[in-house]
Chain A
Amino acid sequence: MINFSYTIWILILPFFMFLLLGLAGHKLFKAKLSGLLGTGGLGIITILSYITAYRYFFVTGKIEGAFQKITAVNITWLQFTDKLHIDMGVLLDPISVMMLVVITTVSLMVHIYSLGYMKGEKGFERFFSFLSLFSFSMLGLVLATNIFQMYIFWELVGVSSFLLIGFYYQKPSAVRASKKAFIVTRFADLGFLIGILILSFNTKTFDFITLTNPTGTAILQGTGIGFLGLSIMTWSMIFVFMGGVGKSAMFPFHIWLPDAMEGPTPVSALIHAATMVVAGVYLVARMFPIYAISAPVALHVVAYVGAFSSLFAAIIACTQTDIKRVLAYSTMSQIGMMMCALGVASYGGEEGLGYMASMFHLFTHAMFKALLFLGAGAIIHAVHSNYMTDMGGLRKYLPITHITFLIACLTIAGIPPFSAFFSKDEILTAAFHSNKILFGVEYAVAGLTAFYMFRLYFNIFWGKDTQYHHTPHEAPATMTIPLILLAIASLFTGFIPFNKLVTSDSKVLESGLEMMIAIPSVLIGLLGIGIAYVMYRKETSIPDRLATTFKYGYKWAYNKFYIDELYLFVTKKIIFRYIAQPVAWFDRHIVDGTMNAIATVTQVISFRIRGFQSGQLQKYAFVFITGVIMLAIFFIYLWK
């Protein structure tokens, strides 16, 4: 067995960077130095991660044809009972190692990119310290050895996301967005926590290895007992999935994601596209044996929620004009596809294709979506606007951005040989073999994706020739180098043999391209691109006419189907006005009123009694004498 205990430094290092930059950053270092420190720290972590990945996949070797789960480090952090304790540790298995690579790669790119993008911003070192915090929490999340450690880092990820969305804390919209993101995900995390509680009550363990052992006893606990027709295990897994829904911005908890684009663009690329939002997918993948073996109903929920979200988001994405929002909805749509793929999979063998496809897509998606966001950042940097209506014809000014953005768009549209072609194809295959309806939905989503991405592309780089206040210019090298690297990654990651590395039972899964699926999927991608070309290559009136034709549909999609308004109604009107305020009123007037009433009654009575003490000497004497006489009568005549 190879020693992996050094992996703990992957966690310690970013935490240390966070403390260093956060507490002493603005005093000890110049802004630029702290940026370089943060980036350098992350570079070391990236190297460590690559070494770990290499050693895990290619040196350690398999036992009985499967990659083993390795607990590299495990320290008891907090003991609840003999069996229940939170450990802090590092668990290595195919998905965590894969996530390690994804996170460090994208994070490093974003760090480098930010050196240029955030240059001269106030709070530069604060930005890098938050990024370090995020890296720390995200790495802790994927490396968690037990579900509670995951929950801890899950919360930390949420808070670092909160801090980074609200980075421009003087902008009211950013503050609102950060608040919204935190509260919505927090609500979802409540479900996660309840799920953990139920799960741990049944299985008496938090440990992932014990929990997800397909032949162990923990996985069979609570499958029989019913509540509302579903087993307790199913309920707990649905609750756990609720956490994933929140973090991965699935319907109906997706509303925070578009608003989260108020954060700096590198943050959007890192957190809200490539890494944090896929935590939900990762969570389901982590618990996959339980879903597949003990709670198939919960897995169906995963599939349908994923499929619905992907379609829903794709439709909205077609109407948005803020380029970051388009990308946000596209992220939601792609994650929905991953969820759906997980949902249609089952444990082991051929049936586990969806699992592999989902992980594969997660990997490729991280690369090309980060690329898209960073590209969008470069565009915004050049144009100083988020709206595609303010853009057009930018290909002349931003050649590198243009090329890399095009590569990313082609990738997401699923055109071979770009990476997403392979991963998306696997997802469609998995869906096709399991559920035809879901396949249909995903197929439509693939077409819509190609359409809205190229709508974006044509609107930005072609279309009308917009007059700019000052000529847009290409971004500095610190920004373009990550773009180029990520573009290369998008090109070639499709050829990574995921079926040999990351599968549901860690064994090799034989799968190849199925032409029956691959050809139509490419065709619908091309169709989407074609429509977008016709509509947006030149400035035409087709989009407006379409919009007027489907007036109501367009309006609903443009307004995101009014889900935000619904939430606002529920929170502002119902919770605040009909729960919190009445509770406050009740407390002031009923509970406190009762207490005050008791005091008032006492006071009134005592005022009455006080009247007896009139100060009239003769009254006292009269009472005294009457009393004496009465006592005398009593003792003489009545007392026996």
Chain B
Amino acid sequence: MDILSLFVVIPVLTITAILFLKDTRQVRLVSAFGMGLQLLMAALLVFLYLTARHAGNSDEMLFIRDYLWFKSLNIHYAVGVDGISVAMIALTSLVVFAGIFASWEVEFLRKEFFISLILLATGVFGFFISIDLFTMFLFYELAVIPMYLLIGIWGSGPKEYSAMKLTIMLMGGSALLLVGLLGIYFNSSPDATKLTFNILEISKVVIPLPAQRIFFPLTFLGFGVLGALFPFHTWSPDGHASAPTAVSMLHAGVLMKLGGYGAFRVAIFLMPEAAHELSWIFIILTSISVVYGAFGAIAQKDLKYINAYSSVSHCGLVLFAVLMMNQTAMNGAIIQMISHGLMTALFFALIGMLYGRTHTRLINEMGGLMKVIPFLSVCYVIAGLASLGLPGLSGFVAEMTIFVGAFQHHELFYRIVTIMAVSSIVITAVYILRVIAILLLGPTTNEHFEHLPDAKWFEKISVITLIGAVAAIGLVPFWLSTMIGTSLHPIINKILALNPF
């Protein structure tokens, strides 16, 4: 049985089912059912994966399936997962599941909304299971396009502008990416007889260094745009601010991770020599992202902007760690992706719920919400604490792994940059606490807020799912870290082979 393809098939079936529904009330039930099934599948996948590994299966990728698609170009539909993809799939299904419940009360064109949302999820799932560069790119594009509709139609504020900006910038990124991928493809075979898109096969050959020098920056930038790399991050604040709740969740929670994952799986894994040679440029850019995003967040007034800038900072940390190219830092990068995915989804869900009640997102128009809506407020505080790296929640595990890993780098330059990046934790604390203090604590400023209702059942499901995952990773990080760590070995071995330090 092809368990991986099911991750694409289930959403597609859900979409088909939604298409035939007459009653729009049932749409969300069907969506929730489909994505709940997906969540169960993800749990099953984690279980199967761990069982297989436990049984001594030490293949690089498990559950590999390969179907020839375009013979002339040797394009396959090839799927396979390692611990990293499994973790990302689990993250995605969690966030999508929570996202469905967070958008329970979408009224306008409900059917179309859920279809687009699940289509987006399909793209993301497909991306994570693919091991063929072409199908990977295909799913990547599939994930980006519905975003335009979701923001442009169901968004708020200057939604057309934001949707356009987001889509065009991401498309610009994928243009670079496509060139990079084709470059890899045409160098995937030493004697140009059997070109391939398959990652596993490409990783066995060494792409010539001159080609790497061209295609590594292209690929990395292409994914970097999606990962909000400075200075290509400006789509993120506008996009997030305009997007509806679930879309922000999915976008910041999962879609931005496509950037980090791709940078790591394609750019670094396939072209480690150039990565090693050019990493300093991107290290500088990413460390700017980290500090700059955090400072940018301090001065914002709109909750979503604050969170968007904090995402820039945190995702910068992901790319930063990936570029450090050692086991610990990369492990941290993956955990950070998952952790940030969960907590930023949590943040956006909560912001959406607050907005639904107060009809404002400006922090200085709110105040003292803790007394009125304690459940949501406490959840917000937990999300904030996770974001500023409180031990026992996922953010701490991720950040510490990154910092310790990055600081083990043998070159002084990298260690100094690491210290700069470390300083972001203080700035993070500043803006998080600022928001919490203004928003939740203190006396209730606006008398209209006195009788706001607290969370409804579907909101609770959404929030508790995410908080549970955040706390689980934070309290028992060992299994996740090990699952990712063992999957990193092929990459690390490849890097070590070229540069033993």
Nearest neighbor of A201 in chain B, beta-carbon distance:
B407
Whether A595 pairs with B169 at a CB distance below 8 angstroms is: yes
Which residues in A have their C-beta under 8 angstroms from that of B425? 186, 190, 193
Is the CB of B249 closer than 8 A to any CB of chain A? no
Whether A79 pairs with B482 at a CB distance below 8 angstroms is: yes
Is the CB of B88 closer than 8 A to any CB of chain A? no
CB contact under 8 A between A591 and B231, given known A159-B385, A201-B415, A583-B295 = yes
CB contact under 8 A between A197 and B429, given known A80-B404, A175-B437 = no
Is the CB of B418 closer than 8 A to any CB of chain A? yes
Is the CB of A37 closer than 8 A to any CB of chain B? no
Is the CB of A329 closer than 8 A to any CB of chain B? no
* Partner of A576 from B299, B415, B418, B437 at Cβ < 8 Å: B299
* Partner of B441 from A78, A175, A198, A200 at Cβ < 8 Å: A175
How many A-B contacts at CB < 8 Å in the complex? Answer: 135
Report B22 CB to chain A, min CB distance, Å. Answer: 41
Interface size on A, residues (CB 8 A): 48
Is the CB of A183 closer than 8 A to any CB of chain B? yes
Tell me which residues from 399 to 418 in chain B have a Cβ below 8 Å from any Cβ of chain A: 400-401, 403-405, 407-408, 415, 418
Report A285 CB to chain B, min CB distance, Å. Answer: 22
Nearest neighbor of A154 in chain B, beta-carbon distance:
B391
Task: Give per-residue flags for B104-128: 1 if the beta carbon is below 8 A from chain A beta carbons, else 0.
Answer: 0000000000000000000000000
Which residues in A have their C-beta under 8 angstroms from that of B57? none
Tell me which residues from 354 to 401 in chain B have a Cβ below 8 Å from any Cβ of chain A: 368, 370-371, 385, 388-392, 396-397, 400-401
Complexed CA–CA distance, A193 and B433 (Å): 20
Is the CB of A169 closer than 8 A to any CB of chain B? yes
CB contact under 8 A between A183 and B422, given known A79-B481, A152-B391 = no
Which residues in B have their C-beta under 8 angstroms from that of A575? 298
Complexed CA–CA distance, A148 and B418 (Å): 18
* Partner of A584 from B235, B299, B404 at Cβ < 8 Å: B299
Is the CB of B477 closer than 8 A to any CB of chain A? yes
Nearest neighbor of B298 in chain A, beta-carbon distance:
A580
Is the CB of A77 closer than 8 A to any CB of chain B? yes
Whether B234 pairs with A175 at a CB distance below 8 angstroms is: no
Which residues in A have their C-beta under 8 angstroms from that of B400? 78, 86, 148
Whether B295 pairs with A580 at a CB distance below 8 angstroms is: yes
Which residues in A have their C-beta under 8 angstroms from that of B388? 186
Which residues in B have their C-beta under 8 angstroms from that of A79? 478, 481-482, 485
Is the CB of A373 closer than 8 A to any CB of chain B? no
Complexed CA–CA distance, A187 and B233 (Å): 27
Whether B478 pairs with A169 at a CB distance below 8 angstroms is: no
Is the CB of B419 closer than 8 A to any CB of chain A? yes
Tell me which residues from 67 to 91 in chain A have a Cβ below 8 Å from any Cβ of chain B: 76-81, 84, 86
CB contact under 8 A between A595 and B477, given known A179-B434, A182-B429, A186-B426 = no
Whether A592 pairs with B298 at a CB distance below 8 angstroms is: no
Tell me which residues from 130 to 166 in chain A have a Cβ below 8 Å from any Cβ of chain B: 148, 151-153, 155-156, 159, 166
Complexed CA–CA distance, A166 and B232 (Å): 39
Is the CB of A213 closer than 8 A to any CB of chain B? no
* Partner of A179 from B309, B437, B478, B485 at Cβ < 8 Å: B437
Which residues in B have their C-beta under 8 angstroms from that of A183? 426, 429-430, 433
Is the CB of B208 closer than 8 A to any CB of chain A? no
Complexed CA–CA distance, A137 and B368 (Å): 28
Which residues in A have their C-beta under 8 angstroms from that of B441? 166, 169-170, 175
CB contact under 8 A between A78 and B401, given known A155-B391, A179-B433 = yes
Whether B433 pairs with A587 at a CB distance below 8 angstroms is: no
Complexed CA–CA distance, A132 and B270 (Å): 50
Whether B234 pairs with A156 at a CB distance below 8 angstroms is: no
Whether B392 pairs with A156 at a CB distance below 8 angstroms is: yes
Interface residues on B, range: 35 or more
Task: Give per-residue flags for B417-442: 1 if the beta carbon is below 8 A from chain A beta carbons, else 0.
Answer: 01100110110011001100100111
Report A481 CB to chain B, min CB distance, Å. Answer: 34
Whether B478 pairs with A175 at a CB distance below 8 angstroms is: no
Nearest neighbor of B295 in chain A, beta-carbon distance:
A583
Report A98 CB to chain B, min CB distance, Å. Answer: 25
Nearest neighbor of B399 in chain A, beta-carbon distance:
A193
Which residues in A have their C-beta under 8 angstroms from that of B390? 155-156, 159
Whether A81 pairs with B296 at a CB distance below 8 angstroms is: no
Tell me which residues from 6 to 53 in chain B have a Cβ below 8 Å from any Cβ of chain A: none
Which residues in B have their C-beta under 8 angstroms from that of A155? 389-391, 396
Report B350 CB to chain A, min CB distance, Å. Answer: 17
Complexed CA–CA distance, A80 and B404 (Å): 8
Whether A201 pairs with B295 at a CB distance below 8 angstroms is: no
Is the CB of A538 closer than 8 A to any CB of chain B? no
Which residues in B have their C-beta under 8 angstroms from that of A153? 391
Complexed CA–CA distance, A190 and B429 (Å): 11
Is the CB of B65 closer than 8 A to any CB of chain A? no
Whether A595 pairs with B165 at a CB distance below 8 angstroms is: yes
Q: Give the one of A76, A155, A176, A581 with max B CB within 10 A.
A: A155
Q: Give the one of B165, B292, B388, B407 with max A CB within 10 A.
A: B407
Complexed CA–CA distance, A178 and B437 (Å): 9
Complexed CA–CA distance, A194 and B422 (Å): 8
CB contact under 8 A between A170 and B422, given known A79-B481, A594-B231 = no
Nearest neighbor of B292 in chain A, beta-carbon distance:
A583
Is the CB of A65 closer than 8 A to any CB of chain B? no
Which residues in B have their C-beta under 8 angstroms from that of A159? 385, 390
Whether B477 pairs with A77 at a CB distance below 8 angstroms is: yes
Complexed CA–CA distance, A194 and B368 (Å): 36
Report B456 CB to chain A, min CB distance, Å. Answer: 18
Which residues in B have their C-beta under 8 angstroms from that of A601? none
Whether A583 pairs with B296 at a CB distance below 8 angstroms is: yes
* Partner of A78 from B309, B397, B423 at Cβ < 8 Å: B397
Complexed CA–CA distance, A576 and B434 (Å): 12
Whether A80 pairs with B401 at a CB distance below 8 angstroms is: yes
Complexed CA–CA distance, A193 and B430 (Å): 17
Complexed CA–CA distance, A171 and B371 (Å): 12
Nearest neighbor of A587 in chain B, beta-carbon distance:
B296
Which residues in A have their C-beta under 8 angstroms from that of B392? 152, 156
Which residues in A have their C-beta under 8 angstroms from that of B203? none
Nearest neighbor of A162 in chain B, beta-carbon distance:
B433
Report A174 CB to chain B, min CB distance, Å. Answer: 8
Is the CB of A579 closer than 8 A to any CB of chain B? yes
* Partner of B403 from A182, A193, A595 at Cβ < 8 Å: A193
Complexed CA–CA distance, A201 and B326 (Å): 14
Whether B426 pairs with A170 at a CB distance below 8 angstroms is: no
Tell me which residues from 198 to 221 in chain A have a Cβ below 8 Å from any Cβ of chain B: 198, 200-201
Complexed CA–CA distance, A599 and B169 (Å): 10
Complexed CA–CA distance, A218 and B328 (Å): 22
CB contact under 8 A between A170 and B296, given known A76-B478, A200-B404 = no
Complexed CA–CA distance, A186 and B415 (Å): 21
Which residues in A have their C-beta under 8 angstroms from that of B299? 576, 580-581, 583-584
* Partner of B433 from A84, A86, A182, A579 at Cβ < 8 Å: A182
Report B316 CB to chain A, min CB distance, Å. Answer: 13
Nearest neighbor of A196 in chain B, beta-carbon distance:
B404
Nearest neighbor of A594 in chain B, beta-carbon distance:
B231
Which residues in A have their C-beta under 8 angstroms from that of B433? 179, 182-183
Q: Using a CB–CB distance below 8 Å, which chain B residues touch chain A?
A: 165, 168-169, 230-235, 237-238, 292, 295-296, 298-300, 309, 327-328, 331, 368, 370-371, 385, 388-392, 396-397, 400-401, 403-405, 407-408, 415, 418-419, 422-423, 425-426, 429-430, 433-434, 437, 440-444, 477-478, 481-482, 485
Please provide the 5 A-B residue pairs with the shortest distance between their CB atoms, ordered closest to farther: A584-B299, A580-B298, A152-B391, A592-B234, A580-B299
Given contacts A169-B441, A190-B423, A591-B230, 12 further A-B pairs with CB under 8 A are A79-B482, A156-B392, A169-B442, A170-B368, A182-B429, A183-B430, A183-B433, A190-B422, A190-B426, A197-B407, A575-B298, A595-B232
12 A-B contacts (beta carbon < 8 Å) = A77-B478, A78-B481, A80-B328, A153-B391, A156-B390, A170-B370, A170-B441, A176-B437, A183-B433, A186-B429, A190-B426, A197-B407
